[in-house]
Structure 1
Amino acid sequence: MDLEKARFNMIEQQIRPWDVLDQEILDLLAVVKREQFVPQAYRSLTFVDMEIPLPAGQNMLAPRVEARLLQDLNVRKYENVLEIGAGSGYMAALLANRARHVLSMEIEPELVALARQNLTAAGASNVEVIEGNGAEGWPAAIPYDVICISASVPEIPQSILGQIKVGGRIAAIVGTAPVMEARIVTRVSETEYQSVNLFETLAKPLQGIAQPSRFKF
């Protein structure tokens, strides 16, 4: 495989047509080597428009979903980020290139080790991966400028909404299958939030978060 040609095609044929037009984001996707974060067994699928399996039954999000969330979060160099769901560490690596510091939470020990290994190999020195249930966020380091939930949630928990600063943003995929939407929520005051739906997609549920009952009475 010609990695650079495949990377170029991913950016130009999958990501740019999905309204990812920020040149800094497109340049970053060319610099952070996605193949370094993909399990060896699936390396040939690195640049394909699909989720990629990870250990512990988890997935990497599709490249265009990652890129669009990254663009619309508009992370700045002075901001601190909480990522919930480290996976293989790829989204944390992208966020780290935009932020001052990234704290990435992961509930699966196998993925904690994988993400740490991948991020160290990639030279991402401003990322800390911690093991824990991110469904309630990480109150020990609040408030955050940005929170990125790299999985789906039925709704964004109030406990997580309360952990961002005024002006802070949360990215999440909200809903239950078959209807989910990627969403950016901005805290505009101590008590008010503004929500923008970006696009419809599907993603695995965040582990550790309560799922709504499917029973109706």
Structure 2
Amino acid sequence: IRIAAGADGSRYLMEASPLAKLIQLAEINPTDSVLDVGCGTGYASAILSRLAGSVVALENDSALAETARSTLSSLGCGNVTVVQGALPQGHAAKAPYDVIFIGGSVAEVPAPLLDQLAEGGRLVAVEGQGNSGVARLFFKAGGVVTGRRAFNAAIKPLPGFERIRAFEF
């Protein structure tokens, strides 16, 4: 479902099945601090708020951020803070996070997000675009982040995470 069209591209609500599978993959605990990257209207943030101790809902679009604030407030999600900023940069001010959830497909997970994982933290994301996306679970142990393939998923891309094309011979 398309929720917005901005200068950086269209934004979509993730379908229920891949959303549920990604949330399950993250194995969220009641004490976890979660960063929801690209929260949009706050749909995933509302679900995450019922599973985690606290949620930082990051959104780059001011209109979507305001919608998320209003929606989450009306739902009584008092453990969610909506912040505005560049999605690939995360929100270092409240890091580290036990879980980072990326709400759309990305070409690859940027280093600043991986750097914001707590020891023992998990990041879930779909890498790739179109019908060739792969859900991945990244885990930080001993200061090192490793990732594994979880399942195939075709979800809409999150603007701002496109691969930068470089000239090659």
- TM-score, structure 1 as length reference: 0.71
Work out the CA distance in 1 between the residues paired with 2:160 and 2:66. Answer: 19
Alignment match, 2:139: 186
Query: Pick from 75, 86, 92: which aligns with 1:133?
Result: 86
Which residue is 1:62 aligned to? 15
Residue 173 (structure 1) aligned with residue 126 (structure 2): yes
Please say if residues 135 and 207 of structure 1, whose CA atoms lie closer than 8 Å, have aligned partners that are also in contact: no
**Cα distance in 2, alignment partners of residues 120 and 158 from structure 1:** 32
TM superposition shift of 1:184 = 1.0
| Rounded Cα–Cα distance in structure 2 between residues aligned with 1:61 and 1:216 | 34
4+ residue runs over 3 A deviation: 214-217
How far does the alpha carbon of each residue in 1:136-182 deviate from its partner, in whole angstroms, 9 at most, with x for none? 11111111111001111111111111111111000111123442111
Is 1:105–1:129's contact at 8 Å kept on the other side of the alignment?
yes
TM-score by length of 2: 0.90
Q: Matched residues, percent identical?
A: 32
Contiguous gaps of at least 5 residues in structure 1:
1-51
Greater relative contact order structure (CA < 8 Å, 6+ sep): 2
Match of 1:71, SS state, is helix
More strand by share: 2
User: Deviation at 1:215?
Assistant: 6.8
Q: C-alpha root-mean-square deviation of aligned residues, in Å?
A: 1.7
Q: What is the identity, as a one-letter code, of the residue corresponding to 2:101?
A: C
Q: Corresponding residue for 1:96?
A: 49
State the secondary structure of the residue aligned to 1:207: coil
Are the equivalent residues in 2 in contact too, given 1:107–1:207 (CA < 8 A)?
Answer: no
Q: CA deviation at 1:93?
A: 0.6
Quote the residue 2:156 is aligned against.
204
The SS at the match of 1:91 is helix
Partner of 1:53: 2
Say whether the 8 Å CA contact 2:11–2:158 is kept in structure 1. Answer: no
Structure 2 unaligned regions, length at least 5? none
Between the two proteins, the alignment pairs up a number of residues equal to 165
Separation in structure 1 between the aligned mates of residue 37 and residue 149 of structure 2, nearest angstrom: 19
Say if 2:89 and 2:113, in contact at 8 Å, map to a contact too: yes
1:1-217 alignment, distance < 5 Å: 52-56=1-5, 57-190=10-143, 192-213=144-165, 217=169
